[in-house]
Structure 1
């Protein structure tokens, strides 16, 4: 790190939780603040509704008394009439943040769009408000960086690090005006790559033959792709997040990245020390409640001999490996039945799909189970009091007839509650009513495979097309708590530039499966010796057929099912102890090297 440099990190997701980059930026903040201290500032768009819960603006008095280049640049922009906020992001590290309202220059949009076209060959269609916001913010970000470079006193210098195409508009403009800032650009996933991978099952084989412009026009993303290319070529240092995305950058953006910046987590946030096994038990019992409500009205099974597995993330059936996961689960279901192995697997698919409501039957089952619990607790209290009295008063040592200690009212209520709940209808595989369930890939696979939660199925399915949250009447817990309660996370992605979901499992002491086509999986294979022993499993998908990958994943799941409780506890201990490998404190060095390279290049 250069002690005479300032760092501005520019991202659409600063105080604005819209996607995975939010996790990258937010989790990296404590380690970056530790290295850069008050020479570090974040820059993002100001959306008041999004920012209100995590942004604390400085008042006029605070702003006027701050004596640093960031505050000076904000004061100067305000003197020009711009709506610019300076404050603190209310996350660990409490970094300085500048937020700029993109809508304030909408009256100049035509000029901004015209300049982008004439100066950089970037066309902008009418009526695309996201592009308008991106271009307006890019224009304002350029003005802020330009103003900031005017506030610094040599030998002090400015490094500006832009994340993703949505902030990239500023880069070609800064270069054109020869603003003396050292520019770093990171693409976390090429925009065109994501679209191609979703639509081409042999994306990696065809990558070298892709002609970027016709494909961008085909997917109606030409403007965004041109912005991304301009940012990649205009930056002094161009970076991406994994060796996998290096290939994409070469063939789709026509520039070889200067550095790879692997993503980490702020592991301290997840550390539970000796408590993490207790937390697993605590949250597993909450999942038990859901499972009893969902399945036990039709048939029951031994919860102590049940494994909870899950996958989660954006609904990209092929890219996220949902197709491979389902195929492996179908094979696992057959294999467990054929080998007559004890126990059950309940598999949760947690993703986001358009739905009209929670299935009323699922909600009612949960409500009736709560009533069963209340009835049982009332009977327990009544019997407890009467048993204690009988024990004290009795001259005999035999246990009295406990049934005689329950009032007829509670006996009747107990019987009626159970009668109203029990049914022969199969437990649904999905918890919500989708708008278009006839065309849902997950549901269609389950129908074809007849994996519809029959009693003889040893792999049961719960498809929850909404993210888990404490406000959910079905789970009533945070996503992180749900993860801790599970036994295994399954994420065998086909296209995943990095992949936070398996990393978040590891940080919580939960074994996880990833793939060698995810940046995280690739990084694990290169840097973590004996990773399977540490509970991180990597499915080989490069140069493997779908069938071969499905068989490998099935074998991994089969081995996991055959483990005994002691082996699973030992494995969770090893997973949790390996989490430090992915802490930003250790991975920040890659970023600092990129900044040092940028400072050399002007």
Structure 2
């Protein structure tokens, strides 16, 4: 007998990254929006923080839910209603959370009384996130009271610990609303890994509450744990993070929601070819201007990118692998390796910009000082990347077959050197490498293969585990010739990982053009299996679970 699958009439989904591009959750929500908007036009409503200087992709629209918006403002909510300028153009509500700071102590006291959440040890972004979360919940409450028709099925979906306070508020004050919580990475797991403690071998033995005390993470851990335990459906983004939740939050997830994406940002046909050619030319020109070396068309361009988490994102092991590649006698061509990681950037280098502004045909044969850096940093002496390059005596000398270039700025199209957005520049790569130690999912490798760039990742990344399963199902070998190489990584095998990456790049450099073309096609093919139209089924399962529990609660 087939069950009746429940589906919501409205979904309100909140995150600090709605219309605020700061991390991977932005990509999750903004690419999924079109699939949900198609299924339920203008009934998927994203709630984000009102940060005028950061809400650059928000367009206010006065005729969207105008009666409710007027009522909400009359009740003291500072909101803007409009559309998020991403594919699907979903409804977005941005809320001013600052007025709630005056009620902070009362809000935290209620949170303690109702759910025993410890907010006493909050610091840093805890208060700001919590007040936004509370404001978002007040938006949900107002919308449900004044806009939603009676007996409509409503879901409130919050992302990351930063949405926890609001989810608990809705759970208490609006029992008829189904709640879903997605943790994209546990605060304790990330902190254990970031503090150079072995996460995986001892995961079974760690006590989350105890580690929260040790790492001064009591408040974030407390809100995360209580939210996980009290929502209708608790979810995360990969099997590896599900293990983390079970061990550190003492809660088994209800559903794993892998991160899909839409590939409409990938250029097609001749546009792809032209953009790739331009990106490669720009990257090799920057390399020539910095190092004074000449780079032909056969130069292999390799890169890593992401947040500046030196160990967690594997930036250290990437640099080490490129250093080892310098001394690999099999390497038959020049390699330029880019580290595209935003750091404490000062300004674009004037001497480099001057060379780049010279005639396009000008070729330089002398290096600039510090020829591995495109922008000056505020902390040149203490930056992790530069410190490691100095320790390895990596100076981008002409005789070095491998050059490494640190791009420590956001590639937003206006950085003063490349002046190309990340998605336009990534096209120039031949290989992307993301040797993460801690990575709940991993959008960067997924984006790479979408651009037909074979990539290296690890089996400590959610994407890496998924890709491994796909390769196994297709009976394909785990190597770059098949579009992705998944390296086995543990708490202790750093050197083996560096060698395996070095070997993978050296072997790829030896491939004939036909094999390279095939590898690029296979990378693209792999990405097609991660489109939202494939992965949205997992969300539908979460919606059903949450709505079923709500129905039982409100009978």
- TM, length-normalised to structure 1: 0.84
The answer to whether 1:489 aligns with 2:432 is yes
2:20 to 16, 20, 41: 16
Q: What's the CA shift string for 1:277-324, capped at 9, x where partnerless?
A: 34322321222221221222xxx3341231110001111111111122
- Aligned match of 2:311: 318
The answer to whether 1:35 aligns with 2:39 is yes
Larger mean CA deviation between 159-168 and 451-460 belongs to: 451-460
Alignment of 1:366-377 (within 5 A): 366-367=356-357, 370-371=358-359, 373=361
Inter-CA distance 126–321: structure 2 relative to 1 (3 Å threshold): closer
- Aligned match of 1:116: 111
- Structure 1, unaligned runs of 5 or more: 377-417
Alignment of 1:114-513 (within 5 A): 114-125=109-120, 128=123, 130-150=125-145, 151-177=147-173, 179-273=175-269, 275-296=271-292, 300-335=293-328, 338-339=329-330, 341-367=331-357, 370-371=358-359, 373=361, 422-423=365-366, 428-513=371-456
- TM, length-normalised to structure 2: 0.91
Task: State how far apart, in whole Å, the 2-side matches of 1:50 and 1:551 are.
Answer: 41
Once the two structures are TM-superposed, the CA of residue 506 in structure 1 deviates from its matched residue by 1.0
Inter-CA distance 356–119: structure 2 relative to 1 (3 Å threshold): same
- Computed over aligned residues only, the root mean square deviation of the Cα atoms, in angstroms, reads 2.4
Does structure 1 conserve the Cα–Cα contact (< 8 Å) formed by 2:15 and 2:159? yes
Once the two structures are TM-superposed, the CA of residue 456 in structure 1 deviates from its matched residue by 2.0
3-state secondary structure, aligned to 1:48? coil
Q: What's the CA shift string for 1:402-454, capped at 9, x where partnerless?
A: xxxxxxxxxxxxxxxx8xx6547776222333333333332233223222112
Q: What's the CA shift string for 1:81-104, capped at 9, x where partnerless?
A: 322222222221111122221012
The answer to whether 1:82 aligns with 2:77 is yes
3-state secondary structure, aligned to 1:309? strand
Does structure 1 conserve the Cα–Cα contact (< 8 Å) formed by 2:332 and 2:509? no
Task: State how far apart, in whole Å, the 2-side matches of 1:434 and 1:227 are.
Answer: 36
Inter-CA distance 236–56: structure 2 relative to 1 (3 Å threshold): same
Does structure 1 conserve the Cα–Cα contact (< 8 Å) formed by 2:290 and 2:368? no
3-state secondary structure, aligned to 1:305? coil
Inter-CA distance 224–520: structure 2 relative to 1 (3 Å threshold): same
- Structure 2, unaligned runs of 5 or more: 551-555
Higher helix share goes to which structure? 1
3-state secondary structure, aligned to 1:114? helix
Q: Who wins on radius of gyration, i.e. which is larger?
A: 1
3-state secondary structure, aligned to 1:204? coil
The answer to whether 1:6 aligns with 2:10 is yes
Once the two structures are TM-superposed, the CA of residue 542 in structure 1 deviates from its matched residue by 3.9
Q: What's the CA shift string for 1:454-484, capped at 9, x where partnerless?
A: 2221111111211223223321211111110
Does structure 1 conserve the Cα–Cα contact (< 8 Å) formed by 2:289 and 2:368? no
Alignment of 1:39-54 (within 5 A): 39-51=43-55, 53-54=56-57
Once the two structures are TM-superposed, the CA of residue 152 in structure 1 deviates from its matched residue by 3.4
Does structure 2 conserve the Cα–Cα contact (< 8 Å) formed by 1:5 and 1:156? yes
- Aligned match of 2:545: 597
Task: State how far apart, in whole Å, the 2-side matches of 1:475 and 1:543 are.
Answer: 36
Task: State how far apart, in whole Å, the 2-side matches of 1:58 and 1:440 are.
Answer: 44
Once the two structures are TM-superposed, the CA of residue 127 in structure 1 deviates from its matched residue by 8.9
1:57 to 55, 60, 65: 60
Task: State how far apart, in whole Å, the 2-side matches of 1:450 and 1:430 are.
Answer: 15
